[in-house]
Amino acid sequence: MSEYCIVKTIVANLYKEPSFKSELVTQALLKEKLYILDKKHNWYNVKQWDGYESWVHKFYISDSDSMIGWDEINIDKKSINELILYAKSFIGTPYLWGGKSSLGFDCSGFVQTVFKMCGINLPRDASQQILANKLCEINFKNTEVGDLLFFIENNNVNHVAIYYGNGQIIHSSGCVKIETLTENKELYKKLHKIMSIKKLFNG
């Protein structure tokens, strides 16, 4: 058995414990490399490129060294305009806790996937993404298209959205959609920090 396995299905469900009855915590995409930490019967304890650990059933994976994962694909960095086009392509995709594919997204899975399509790796959860290298905090008046908006509830960062421009955001909430962010909206009241993404694209 190799030290890693490769997702062989379009999307693989990853669980908190080695059981289909366990909580679905995230997903992995076709050809994504998963590093093997342990094995119990038909289940593998795996770690993704961002350090996220979970369990995957053997149905979803192959241990073939001939396959390559996303982290080995040479993807040129795209422009911020292309980032928005990628984000818009998922409009209408349903919300799914732990999801990060066209079958369903949670808020941070949506952000992580869109940036991954531009060759940029972000951590899995919103609370981790806000701490990512090269993100710089800015105020609302300086917000530009593509910047990340983080929202807080009970002192915890629990939501993230991409700034779409003209006071609008694109995010996964119920489904992937574009919404106007105004002061009279409940979501605006929870706005915690806005992080510029310029250095992610410009090095």
Domain boundaries, the chain: 4-72, 80-202
Active site residue 159: yes
- pLDDT for res 181: 86
Catalytic residue among 5, 41, 107, 136: 107
> Looking at domain 80-202, does it have CATH number 3.90.1720.10?
yes
Catalytic residue among 136, 159, 175, 192: 159
For tokens 């409940």, name the residue.
186
- pLDDT by residue (tens digit) across 127-145? 999 998 889 999 988 999 9
Active site residue 41: no
Catalytic residue among 41, 57, 118, 171: 171
pTM (two decimals): 0.69
In CATH terms, are 4-72 and 80-202 the same topology?
no
- CATH superfamily, domain 4-72, is SH3 Domains (2.30.30.40)
Distance CA 109, CA 56 (A): 17
For tokens 């349903």, name the residue.
94
- pLDDT by residue (tens digit) across 31-63? 788 999 999 988 999 999 888 899 999 888 887
Active site residue 192: no
For tokens 């993100």, name the residue.
135
